[in-house]
């Protein structure tokens, strides 16, 4: 079951559950840690998903020892890791623990502008972090979150090079408790035994999807942090390719 409109969220008009942005953190941090524990047996699967990531594998290339092979790889214009922690954001009320272990969220019935997002999770010394848990959840092409199931929700673990790959769609904007929300992807990132980074990823102003003005949407979103903007290329062959590298602390 999906809920279409959270404008009634908090109103006394009926038992409508929110499907769009709210504000409280609630107990989800503990829930996420619980899901981490429950998901340990999924490490092998998660690593397998990420290991299959071509773009992610390329993203990790710059952290291999200097060799003649590496010398042939052009250096990135922007350093992959600044050492500064990825900024936090609110979690919202729609996180659900125990999501499926999967990096591919394109399940039957999912429509929208395709996005392949990859990157590396680093610690603050820019060391890649293997077997780091990443949870993703987002709304669909209509701006709706699946609150009864797990559509567009999933968790995975970074591979041996700290890389991940997410196959999904560009989410739609929506109007919620926090006003106009620009398209964003919710995420939580946690190295084993470390604290949970809760944040949201955004899209560049020139993104083209659903006929929406991303520049105006980004400008109107009071939660948006430009430091969490995905580096996007495309669209090509009907899909965007994006990269985003996380930097997290591993100390509680």
Q: What is the 3-state secondary structure (H, E, C) of the chain?
A: CECCCCCCCCCCCCCCCCCCCCCCCCCHHHHHHHHHHHCHHHHHHHHHHHHCCHHHHHHCHHHCCCCHHHHCCCCCCCCCCCCCCCCCCCCCCCCCCCCCECCECCCCCCCCCEEEEEEEEEECCCCECCCCEEEEECCCCCCCCECCCCCCEEEEECCCCCEEEEEEECCCCEEECCEEECCEEEEEEECCCCCCEEEEEECCCCCCCCCCCHHHHHHHCCCCCHHHECEEEEEECCEEEEECCEEECCCC
CB nearer Fe ion, residue 43 or residue 210: 210
Q: Of 19-27, 111-119, 162-170, 238-246, which part binds Fe ion (CB under 5 A)?
A: 19-27
The Cβ of residue 12 has, within 10 Å, a number of other Cβ atoms equal to 5
Q: Of 17-25, 37-45, 114-122, 230-238, which part binds Fe ion (CB under 5 A)?
A: 17-25
CB nearer Fe ion, residue 137 or residue 246: 137
CB nearer Fe ion, residue 5 or residue 61: 5
Q: How far is the CB of 179 from Fe ion (least distance, A)?
A: 12
CB nearer Fe ion, residue 50 or residue 105: 105
Q: How far is the CB of 47 from Fe ion (least distance, A)?
A: 28
CB nearer Fe ion, residue 45 or residue 90: 90
Cα angle 174-200-25, degrees, rounded to a multiple of 5: 90
159-198 binders of Fe ion (CB under 5 A): none
State yes or no: residue 144 binds Fe ion (CB under 5 A). no
Q: How far is the CB of 54 from Fe ion (least distance, A)?
A: 29
CB nearer Fe ion, residue 53 or residue 189: 189
Q: Which of 6, 21, 91, 173 binds Fe ion (CB under 5 A)?
A: 21
Q: Of 14-22, 51-59, 103-111, 126-134, which part binds Fe ion (CB under 5 A)?
A: 14-22
Q: Which residue is nearest to Fe ion (CB)?
A: 21
Q: Of 15-23, 27-35, 47-55, 212-220, which part binds Fe ion (CB under 5 A)?
A: 15-23
Residue ranges in contact with Fe ion by CB under 5 A: 21
């Amino acid at each position: 079951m999906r809920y279409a409109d959270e404008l009634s969220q908090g109103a006394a008009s009926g038992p409508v559950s929110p499907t769009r942005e709210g504000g409280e953190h609630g107990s989800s941090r503990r829930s996420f840690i619980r899901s981490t524990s429950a998901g340990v047996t999924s490490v092998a699967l998660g690593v397998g998903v990420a290991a299959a990531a071509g773009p992610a594998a390329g993203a990790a290339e710059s952290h291999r020892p200097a060799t003649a092979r590496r010398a042939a790889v052009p250096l990135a214009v922007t350093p992959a890791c600044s050492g500064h922690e990825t900024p936090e954001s609110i979690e919202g009320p729609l996180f659900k623990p125990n999501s499926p272990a999967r990096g591919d969220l394109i399940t039957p019935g999912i429509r929208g502008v395709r996005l392949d997002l990859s990157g590396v999770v680093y610690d603050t010394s820019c060391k890649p972090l293997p077997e780091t848990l990443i949870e993703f959840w987002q709304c669909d092409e209509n701006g709706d979150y699946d609150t009864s199931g797990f559509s567009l929700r999933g968790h995975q673990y970074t591979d041996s090079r700290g890389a991940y790959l997410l196959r999904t769609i560009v989410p739609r904007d929506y109007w919620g408790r926090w006003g106009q929300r620009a398209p964003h992807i919710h995420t939580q990132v946690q190295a084993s035994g470390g604290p949970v980074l809760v944040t949201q990823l955004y899209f560049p102003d020139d993104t083209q999807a659903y006929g929406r003005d991303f520049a105006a949407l980004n400008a109107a979103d009071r939660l948006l942090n430009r430091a969490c903007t995905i580096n996007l290329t495309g669209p090509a062959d009907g899909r965007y390719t994006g990269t985003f590298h996380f930097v997290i602390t591993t100390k509680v």
